[in-house]
Amino acid sequence: MYLTVFYLIRHGEPNWAFKDERNLQGALRDFVPLTGFGVRQAEQVIYNHKHLENCDLILSSPYTRSLQTAAYIKRNIGLPLKVEFDLHEWTPDNFQAPGINEIQELMKDYTKHNGVYPPGESKLWESKESVLKRVINVLDRYLDKSKVIVVCHSMVITTLLELKLEVEFCGVFEYEII
pLDDT tens digits, residue range 108-130?
Answer: 998 899 999 999 998 889 999 99
For helices 128-140 and 154-161, give the axis angle rounded to 10 degrees. Answer: 90
The full length of the chain comes to 178
Count of Cβ atoms closer than 10 Å to residue 44 Cβ: 14
pLDDT tens profile 120-176: 998 889 999 999 999 999 999 999 999 999 999 999 999 999 998 889 999 999 999
pLDDT tens profile 51-96: 999 999 999 999 999 999 999 999 999 999 999 999 999 987 766 6
- pTM > 0.85: yes or no: yes
Pairing mode, strands 147-152 and 4-10:
parallel
Q: Which CATH number fits domain 4-177: 1.10.357.10, 3.40.50.720, 3.40.50.1240, 3.40.50.300?
A: 3.40.50.1240
- Rounded to 5°, the CA angle 41-46-176 comes to 110
State how far the Cα of 96 lies from the Cα of 91, in Å rounded to an integer. 9
